[in-house]
Amino acid sequence: MTRFSIFNLATHALKGHRDWRPTWRDSAPAEGYDIVIVGGGGHGLATAYYLAKVHGIRRVAVVERGWIGGGNAGRNTTIIRSNYGLPGNEPFYEFSMKLWEGLEQDLNYNVMVSQRGILNLYHSDAQRDAFARRGNAMLLHGAGAELLDRDAVRKMAPFLNFDSARFPIMGGLLHRRGGTARHDAVVWGYARGASDFGVDIIQNCEVKGFLRDASGAVTGVETTRGAIRANKVGLSVAGHSSAVAAMAGLRLPIESHVLQAFVTEGLKPVIPGVITFGAGHFYISQSDKGGLVFGGDIDGYNTYAQRGNMPVVEDVCEGGMAIMPMIGRARLLRSWGGVVDMSMDGSPIIDRTPVEGLYLNGGWCYGGFKATPAAGRCFAHLLATGAPHDTAAAYRFDRFERGHLIDEKGAGAQPNLH
Amino acid sequence: MPEHLTIQERDDIALASVMARKSMSAAKIGTALGMSLLDRPAACGSGAVTFIGTGPGTWLAFHDGTAPDFAADLTHRLAGLASVSDQSSGYVVLRLAGEGARKLLQRGAAIDFHSASFSSGSVATTVIAHIGVVIRQVDDGPTYDLATFRSFAGSLREWIDHAAAALAF
Amino acid sequence: MRIPCPYCGERDSQEFVYRGDASPRRPEGEDGFYDYVYLRDNVIGEMAEHWYHAQGCRNWITVLRHTRTHRIAAATLSRETPA
Ligand SMILES: Cc1cc2nc3c(=O)[nH]c(=O)nc-3n(C[C@H](O)[C@H](O)[C@H](O)COP(=O)(O)OP(=O)(O)OC[C@H]3O[C@@H](n4cnc5c(N)ncnc54)[C@H](O)[C@@H]3O)c2cc1C
Ligand SMILES: [Zn+2]
């Protein structure tokens, strides 16, 4: 496949950009593979890419029921960060951040990683202490963190409402290496890289069930395009984790909920990076096109509908108005929703399942985009070697039963703390 | 024709919440009170006393005119049938009257206030600007009574003033 | 989304607090507690679920709702709904 370079871009420009070729192959299913990945989002495609590239396993297929990137990969607010506090989490997200930092060179594809910084606002002494502690954990893992006081925040974002009676801004935790990446480009970049190594990307192919042998082990998938055999099957279906796992008789510690997002008309550059107002369920950044991209909390009821309801629209907009009153002058262009796999402690699962031959990468809640490179690397590692990757060793399937929850936010789907 | 809206705090009333004991019906409670009592979101009453349905087997009872013994009297009459608590200082009741009152409520609550579906005697326990309110239509003027917890009353009043200003009454 | 409260009538979902799947039953002993607390069917389809009408009649309601279309087939007071 063509390598992108200045020379190659210039040649195409001189030819009027007329003979660009598709960058990845749209395949028909073969009879069998070493590994079949279910779900052509960022995670599924990254898994296939690293299986081929790192582990040399190239008889791999990614089966996607719609089109690649049509799920949460194409619906998220594109924030990438390594600002977690717990030992089970931070090494993983830092690993992911390092992969983001080298991703464009690795993929030879512009995924528009933009490290413009993430600022978490705090409003009380207690919150500052909690942020300082998280910042220290980040420093220990090499992620970098700075605790800003009120004046420093004012310098960065003078337009914020510093004197709200309920949530006066006292300062913020700044993670300079955080930022955004271009969601579609991440999907296409991994698809191109995987396709290059010979991975089959099979679209319009919905998994309807599993092939099992006499012992009950999974030996492939039943799809709308026929049966496909595989030595191992990996699930990377985000909001549909429970539905697909149920086809193998599994119940998961996961509920599916909808998360909404919003974008305004394009404006001149105004938001310096990503700003989060966690206390008011609101976060915002500005896209390269100028739109203010913002969101808040999940709607809060089980759903598989990729659209949300009005109460959360109101809640998010109220949060925006409270912290950043000038947003009231911007016109909203679009809003949408994605079905997210809320795990019971808010942290993911990358593990083998109790069913032989079936592996799960799921429970990413509303925060799996930033994890895309590391989730792909770690899931590939697990599928190839049978052992968890060092940085994902805490994301075990049975941790709820063993009492080893990773309650970073202290809230999953059911504990009803949202 | 100019639309009218008058807003008045009712401080000439006594209030009590009434909650049926297990398996005590509205009929039994009504008999003890000498009135027919409805177990649905509606107002019913006799004389100075009005019962407003706020939930299955629960009512907010209004007494027109101050009556310091209202709750004690109900407690006595409903002994064994229902639990009664004095709410006279727990709620603030605002009386909104005039055609503008309907428009105002239409802006605040997700309830159909058209006279075909909400009229004299209708009751709704709902929310306006995140503040819980019990709304009762008193007559077809229309006149409404809005009961809200006393500590929220200031915020509700602020919303009313804003919304009324926007409607330019 | 509007939830038909058996007492109050149809109301905006904002008035309610959601609790989730109505089917898990609290086990008597320690056995089954992991299932009860953590595992969910999380169905695509009709699901009986608990909603609390916090800003209305303050009753728990059992709602039969489709998780993809949000169509509601039935809503009853939970205390009158057989477990
Ligand atoms: C509104 C919104 C905002 C978000 N913002 C952020 C953010 O700012 N930062 C962040 O880190 N994360 C964010 N997230 C979360 C993030 O988008 C997800 O965690 C992540 O994209 C999930 O991984 P994925 O890309 O592989 O999922 P998806 O793109 O959803 O991929 C799963 C794929 O599986 C396919 N599939 C499902 N069932 C089947 C089947 N039976 N057979 C075949 N294929 C099937 C689906 O069609 C889908 O394409 C957000 C999510 C939403 C909805
Ligand atoms: Zn109700």
> Is beta strand A349-352 parallel, antiparallel or unpaired with respect to A332-343?
unpaired
Q: What share of chain A is helix, strand, coil (3-state, %, to 5)?
A: 30, 25, 40
Q: Please give the structure tokens belonging to residue A147.
A: 């605790």
The answer to whether residue C21 sits within a structural domain is: yes
B37 shares a domain with B57? yes
pLDDT, tens digit, 9 for 90 and up, residues B85-122: 999 999 999 999 998 999 999 999 999 999 999 999 99
Based on the domain organization, do A165 and A229 belong to the same domain? no
Asked if A351 and A235 touch (Cβ cutoff 8 Å), the reply is: no
**B100, B80: one domain:** no
pLDDT tens, residue by residue, A154-188: 999 999 999 999 999 999 999 999 999 999 999 99
B87 CA → ligand 1 middle, Å: 51
A344 interfaces chain C, CB cutoff of 8 Å: yes
Mean pLDDT of A54-73: 98
Interchain pair B126, C55: CB under 8 A: yes
The token pair at A150 is 């009120």
Domains of chain A: total: 2
Residues A260 and A202 in one domain: no
SS3 A195: helix
A42 Cβ contact partners less than 8 Å away, ≥ 6 residues apart: A69, A73, A183, A186, A187, A190, A368, A369, A372, A376
Index of the ligand 1 atom closest to the CA of residue A283: 8
Residue A418 has pLDDT above 60, yes or no: no
Residues A99 and A194 in one domain: yes
Both B123 and B149 in one domain: the answer is: yes
To the nearest whole percent, how much of chain A has pLDDT over 90? 94
Q: What is the CATH number of the domain that holds B120?
A: 3.30.1360.120
| Ligand 1 atom with the shortest distance to the CA of A70 | 49
- Average predicted confidence (pLDDT) for chain B: 95
Q: Is residue C67 part of a domain?
A: yes
The verdict on the CB of residue A209 being under 6 Å from ligand 1 is: no
Residue B32: domain span: 11-84
SS (H, E, C) A342-360: EECCCCCEEEECCCCCEEE
Considering the domain architecture, whether residues A73 and A204 belong to the same structural domain is answered as yes
C58 in contact with chain B, both atoms CB, cutoff 8 A: yes
What does the alpha-carbon distance between residue C45 and residue C59 come to, in Å, rounded to a whole number? 25
Asked if residue B147 and residue B105 are part of one domain, the reply reads yes
Distance B19 CA to ligand 1 centre (A): 48
Residues of chain C positioned with their CB less than 8 A from the CB of B156: none
Do A201 and A307 lie in a common domain? no
Domain-located, residue A56: yes
Tell me the per-residue pLDDT of B47-62, one tens digit each, with 9 for 90 and over. 999 999 999 999 999 9
B80 and B18 within one domain: yes
Structural domains in chain C (count):
1
Residue B106 lies in a domain: yes
How do B13-20 and B82-86 pair as beta strands? antiparallel
Q: Is the pLDDT of residue A366 over 70?
A: yes
Residue at C36 is within a domain: yes
Is the distance from CB of C7 to CB of C77 less than 8 angstroms? yes
A305 contacts C68? CB cut-off 8 A: yes
Q: What is the mean pLDDT of residues A191-196?
A: 98
Q: Which one of A250, A301, A306, A339 makes the best mutation probe of the C interface by having the most chain C beta carbons within 10 Å?
A: A301
Average pLDDT, integer, range B13-36: 96
Give the domain extent around A287. 114-179+256-343
CA distance A163 to A378: 44
Closest CB to B55 among C7, C14, C15 = C7
* Domain extent for C54: 1-78
Phi/psi region, residue B98 (left: phi>0; alpha: psi -120 to 50; beta: rest), is left
- Predicted confidence (pLDDT) per residue in A98-145, tens digit: 999 999 999 999 999 999 999 999 999 999 999 999 999 999 999 999
Answer yes or no: do B60 and B102 share one domain: no
Q: A409 pLDDT band (50/70/90 cuts)?
A: confident
Measured in residues, chain B has a length of: 169
pLDDT at residue B2 is higher than 60: no
> Contacts from A103-109 at CB under 8 Å and sequence distance 24+?
A103/A181, A103/A186, A103/A189, A103/A373, A106/A193, A107/A49, A107/A189, A107/A190, A107/A192, A107/A193, A108/A3, A108/A4, A108/A193, A109/A4, A109/A185, A109/A188, A109/A189, A109/A192, A109/A193
- Whose tokens are 């310098």? That residue is A155
Contact A73, A46 (CB under 8 A): no
Predicted pLDDT at A413:
59
What residue's CA is closest to ligand 1, atom 37? Answer: A237
The whole-number pLDDT of residue C23 equals 93
Stated pTM of the model:
0.95
Flag whether A399 is in a domain. no
B128/B150 same-domain check? yes
Residues A294 and A315 both lie in one domain: yes
Q: Let me know if residue B1 belongs to a domain.
A: no
Neighbours of chain C (3+ CB pairs under 8 A): A, B
- Decide if A112 contacts A182 (C-beta within 8 A): yes
Q: Shortest Cα distance from C34 to chain A (angstroms)?
A: 6
Q: Are residues A260 and A330 in the same domain?
A: yes
Q: Looking at B61, B84, B107, which one is the last position of a domain?
A: B84
Kindly tell me if the per-residue pLDDT of A416 is higher than 60.
no
Whether B4 is in a domain gets the answer no
CA-nearest of A64, A63, A62 to A50 is: A62
Residue B6 located in a structural domain: no
Q: A52-61, A364-373, A403-412: which has the minimum mean pLDDT?
A: A403-412
Alpha-carbon torsion angle A246, C61, A307, A270, nearest 10: -120
Q: Same domain, yes or no, for B16 and B78?
A: yes
Which residues have CB under 8 Å from B1's CB, separation 6+? none
User: Any idea what the CATH number is for the domain that residue A359 is in?
Assistant: 3.50.50.60
Residues A116/A179, Cβ–Cβ less than 8 Å: yes
Mean of the per-residue pLDDT values of chain C: 95
Chain A and chain C share a number of CB contacts under 8 A equal to 69
pLDDT at A417 over 70: no
A303 vs C68: CB contact, 8 Å cut-off? yes
C83 located within any domain: no
Q: How far is C79 from chain A (nearest CA, A)?
A: 21
A405 within domain boundaries: no
- The verdict on a CB contact (< 8 Å) between B125 and C59 is no
Q: Flag if A255 and C38 touch (Cβ within 8 Å).
A: no
What is the model's pLDDT at position B1? 37
Among B31, B51, B84, residue at a domain's last position: B84
Note whether A154 and A126 are within 8 A (CB): no
Q: Is residue A11 part of a domain?
A: yes
Q: How many CB pairs under 8 A join B and C?
A: 34
Residues A151, A189: one domain? no
Dihedral, A331, A333, A339, A341 alpha carbons, nearest 10:
-50
Measured between beta carbons, which residues in chain B are less than 8 angstroms from residue C58? Answer: 55, 58
Query: What is the spatial distance between Cα A110 and Cα A6, in angstroms, rounded to a whole number?
Result: 12
d(CA A360, CA A79) in angstroms, rounded, equals 24
Do B153 and B133 meet the contact criterion of CB atoms below 8 Å apart?
no
User: CA nearest A158: which of A147, A169, A145, A167?
Assistant: A169
Residues 6+ apart with CB under 8 A from C56: B55, B125, B126, C5, C7, C8, C11, C15, C16
**Where does the pLDDT of residue B168 fall: very low under 50, low under 70, confident under 90, or very high at 90 and above?**
confident
The full length of chain A comes to 418
Looking at the 3D structure of chain B, how many domains does it have?
A: 2
Q: How far is the CA of A326 from the centre of ligand 1 (A)?
A: 31
Report which of B20, B82, B28 is spatially closest to residue B73, judged by C-alpha positions.
B82
A321-349 mean pLDDT: 96
- Helix A372-385 / helix A42-55 crossing angle, nearest 10 deg: 50
Looking at B53, B84, B115, which one is the last position of a domain?
Answer: B84
pLDDT level of residue B3 (50, 70, 90 thresholds): low
Q: Which of C5, C14, C55, C80 to mutate to test the interface with B (most CBs of B within 10 A)?
A: C55
The four Cα atoms B138, B141, B142, B148 give a dihedral, to 10 degrees, of -50
Same domain membership, residue B78 and residue B29? yes
**Could you tell me if A220 and A281 lie in one domain?**
no
* Strand residues in A216-290 grouped as ranges (E): 218-223, 226-235, 254-266, 274-277, 282-286
At A414 the pLDDT is: 61
CATH code: domain of residue B59: 3.30.70.1520
- Same domain as A289, residue A175: yes
What is the pLDDT at residue B4? 86
The ranges of chain C with pLDDT < 50 are none
Residues A161 and A189 in one domain: no
- Strand runs (DSSP E) across B10-165, as ranges? 13-20, 43-46, 49-55, 58-64, 82-86, 91-97, 123-128, 131-139, 143-149
ipTM score here?
0.96
Provide the CATH number for the domain around residue A278: 3.30.9.10
The answer to whether residues B118 and B139 belong to one domain is: yes
Residue at A398 is within a domain: no
Write down the number of H helices and E strands in chain C: 1, 6
Same domain, A157 and A279: yes
Burial C8-47 (b: 16+ CB within 10 A, else e): bbebbbbbbebebbbebeeeeeeeeebeeebbbbbbbebb
Q: In this model, does residue A380 exceed pLDDT 60? A: yes
